[in-house]
Amino acid sequence: MFKSTPQTMRYTLRVLSRLLHYPDAQMMRELPAMVDALRLEHALPRQRIEEIEQLCAHLVALGEWEAQARYVEVFDRGHKTSLHLFEHVHGDSRERGPALVDLQQTYEQAGLAFDANELPDHLPVVLEFASTQPPAIASEFLGEMVEILNALFSALVQRDSPYACVIAAVLEAAGAKAQAVAIDPEPDMDETWSEPAAFMGCSTQGQSRPGTPQPMHFVRKAEINQPHHGVSA
């Protein structure tokens, strides 16, 4: 965990966001540059950067097709390992819609226009937004999600997934420590989710789109409002 907030986390958060995208051919080519960016910015502990470097080497060794198959198996075929953060909160409950609207408004109030094929609560999108904010604000924003992130981290550890180190890095960027927490067994995909403990009253559902291009999601508006880094629902 950081002793103090790093002076910059812009590239680190963007690398973590990119690593959680579907591993297409372009991403596979970018892996060495991602590791270089992490080392250059040095916003994460050295051990974590080394773990992420090992993940990148692992993906290269798997090859594009196998890396993609494993990504889908981990992130698209399990609720506990979903990268849609609000899915861990209310599943399919009615609060999902308003929560997504609130989160999108958070982006807009920071002077950013959201334009993506994914939902606003998709963790790579959340990380990309955080990368546009000053480190202290980014850390505070991500800190609101620590409980969900630790549950996601724990689910990945249970599955022995090398992606766990990326979520651990996100937790460290939030000023927290990755730690295993008790999680319920993964329900069948056909089961209807009951509503778990609330994360600021937010919720959503959605699945990643394998193979879909993942451009940068945020652009500056002409008129920039004051950043609002809280997530409400």
Low-confidence residues of the chain: pLDDT under 70 = 1-6, 90-96, 185-233
| Residue 139, both tokens | 């850390």
Task: Report yes or no on whether pTM surpasses 0.85.
Answer: no
∠ CA 167-171-173, nearest 5°, is 115
12-24 pLDDT, tens per residue?
999 999 999 999 9
Which residues lie below 8 Å from residue 66, measured CB to CB, with a gap of 6+?
A: none
Which residue's structure tokens are 């394998």? 210
Cα–Cα distance measured from residue 199 to residue 123, given in angstroms and rounded to the nearest whole number: 14
Provide the pLDDT for residue 25. Answer: 97
Provide the pLDDT for residue 201. Answer: 39
For 81-135, give the DSSP string.
T-SBGGGGTTTTSTTHHHHHHHHHHHHHHTTEEE--SS-TTBHHHHHHHHHTS-H
Cα–Cα distance measured from residue 207 to residue 65, given in angstroms and rounded to the nearest whole number: 19
Residue 102's CB: how many other CB atoms inside 10 A?
Answer: 17
Cα–Cα distance measured from residue 10 to residue 231, given in angstroms and rounded to the nearest whole number: 20
Provide the pLDDT for residue 206. Answer: 40
Provide the pLDDT for residue 118. Answer: 83
Provide the pLDDT for residue 199. Answer: 43
Residue 230's CB: how many other CB atoms inside 10 A?
Answer: 11
